[in-house]
Amino acid sequence: MASREENTKRTNRVLRISQLDALELNKALEQLVWSQFSQCFHGFKPGLLARFEPEVKALLWLFLWRFTIYSKNATVGQSILNIQYKNDFSPKLRYQPPSKNQKLWYAVCTIGGTWLEERCYDLFRNRHLASFGKARQCMNIMVGLFKLGGLINFLIFLQRGKFATLTERLLGIRSVFCKPQNIREVGFEYMNRELLWHGFAEFLIFLLPLINIQKLKAKLSSWCIPLTGASNSDNTLSTSGKQCSLCGEWPTMPHTIGCEHIFCYYCVKSSFLFDVYFTCPKCGTEVHSVQPLKSGIEMSEVNAL
């Protein structure tokens, strides 16, 4: 019997990651609700909700609390993950939901505490109340102590796996599964395959910016296309001047880089600024200087067309 009870406790024990996922889902829901609510006042005067933002948020979270924790003993994130709160102070072995006082104090600590912090921050930021320096200092000390308590509680939670927040520990409510969970056998083949492809994709993302694609393309094209002798350079210029060697269109403000091919000024200039070791994609000639095409050759090309 004892071993069976231990096995049921292990199977019904909520994992730490599940409790943290429930908290993150709750935060995401709050952000989604607030964004949808603020869009309702998009057409009104700017800053209409700024003065009463803590109170409006408190009312929204109180509405969510009424239909989640108060009525179903679980937040929205916990309901998605098949988790609910249990009264840990109860001596009974069976499931006991949180008492009404625990639920009310949960709302006071979470909703009321957040409202008090935001409202006090706005009050102490006001210039007319700048004389309340001691009250502001005491408030900062209390908030700091509460944050420190939350940090200590989180470290204890990572070790023991109970009470993910300080409020849960103080009120004595912890997360349990709504229904008994069966022990699952996890296959790691799919996970290993995903990790392998993810690592390979990260390696490509790191490697691709280091590769000069344009220079590699020019090198491959120079290998594939046999080079011919550059006899009668003027005739070669006139035949190759019908299109830009980069964009393939009629060359705008035609320029050369020292070979028999013609480029648009903006094409070759941008390519040269992007890569100092830019070479001609047709013949692989390195750029020594970007010079405009001679007027005589340019006119002969226009007349030929």
Instruction: Give the tens place of pLDDT for each residue, 202-237.
Output: 988 888 777 767 667 666 766 665 544 444 444 444
Residues of the chain with CATH 3.30.40.10: 241-294
pLDDT category, 39, cuts 50, 70, 90? confident
Residue 241 has a pLDDT of: 57
Mean of pLDDT values over 80-88: 90
Residue 2: pLDDT above 50? Answer: no
Residue 138 has a pLDDT of: 81
Residue 4: pLDDT above 80? Answer: no
Beta bridge partners of 85: 175
Residue 10 has a pLDDT of: 46
pLDDT in tens, 161-201: 889 999 999 999 989 988 776 665 666 777 788 888 988 89
Q: What are phi and psi of 84, to 5 degrees?
A: -150, 165
Q: What is the mean pLDDT of the chain?
A: 78
Three-state secondary structure call for residue 171: helix
Q: What is the CATH number of domain 241-294?
A: 3.30.40.10
Residue 126 has a pLDDT of: 60
How many Cβ atoms are within 10 Å of 241's Cβ, its own excluded? 24
Among the ranges given (2-6, 75-79, 287-291), the one the predictor scored with the smallest mean pLDDT: 2-6
